Amino acid sequence: MNRRTLAGRAVAEVGLGCMNLSHAYGVPPEPAVGKALLHAALDLGVDHFDTAALYGFGRNEELVGEALQPFRQRIFLASKCGMTGVDGKRVIDGRPQMLKQTCKDSLRRLRTDVIDLYYLHRWDKRVPIEESVGALADLVREGHIRSVGLSEVSAQTLRKAHTVHPIAAVQSEYSLWTRNPEINLLTACRELNIALVAFSPLGRGFLAGSVTDPRDFVEKDIRRAMPRFQSPHFGRNRKLLDQFNRVAWQAGCTPAQLAIAWLLSKAPFVLPIVGTTSLEHLKEDLAAANVNVSAETLQTLEPLINADTVSGPRYAPETLAEIDTEETPRAG
């Protein structure tokens, strides 16, 4: 794969988000299956691996640590703090002492002495961003992490945090059907020389065509609570895929590859991370880096799937209240 810069280091332009192997989309695969997928990703050229203390309430970091520790010098390892599992529940806590304790626990689970990029997973709005970032700056000075990142924040918060300590990357949901970073965040990243790591580049499977009926989601699949996958929004959104799929096949690639190619074209500092439990899908996604799609073809996608044509917000109201990203006003 081609290379892009992340926290001062050249990495493959498509990375692997490891969440799916332990968390979020129903019953995760057995650890042995997850470990095999991580090893396969290495063989396919992936060297940017993204996890978090939240995923599986620590189990994902344990899996990543066990699988990748022998290859630690070959990989770029990212994790997150500020949102963890406490007594079986998701808790946002950005207090400095909590962030430092989470880092200590993460280092143990990841079987490493240092984390290459450590994100504040969510800004705890009860704690000034300067205090949380200050704690992460302490971790840099102490040698526990190499660089600081933020996740799901606005351009305003990013700029404020950047005055406390240089922010190497901001992670945000970004895809054809989630354009929030285009409001202000992309501009801020460009001006401040900050990478934008795009998670859910396939719209949580929607753009890949893998979601045909949300009623098939298993009980613990987080998409069950997302309005875009609920009636009446899903029916409206499903109609967008017919033309999108035709564009992909005419371009000689799969819909998933077209979605990733579109994202790679947005800016050289945008780095998608894909997530999957399937080796076949992983190979398909990574091949997007070598898909040759014309600028004209990519441009046809802009009016097709965007903030105005997609029906429904990306999260339920209570979750949106926890997030600091700019939101496009929506009619429905």
Q: Point out the residues that are catalytic.
A: 55
Helices (H), the chain: 31-43, 59-68, 96-110, 129-141, 155-162, 185-192, 233-238, 241-251, 255-266, 279-286, 295-301, 317-320
Cα gap 312→309, rounded to integer Å:
10
| Three-state DSSP class for residue 219 | coil
| Three-state DSSP class for residue 295 | helix
For strand 9-12 and strand 167-173, is the pairing parallel, antiparallel, or unpaired?
unpaired
Compute φ and ψ for 251, nearest 5 degrees: -85, -5
Buried b (16+ CB within 10 A) or exposed e, 281-293: bbebbbbbbebeb
Residue 56 backbone zone (phi > 0: left; psi -120 to 50: alpha; other: beta): left
Cα gap 287→1, rounded to integer Å:
8
Q: Other C-beta atoms within 10 Å of 130: how many?
A: 14
Cβ distance 280 to 291 under 8 Å? no
Cα gap 278→275, rounded to integer Å:
9
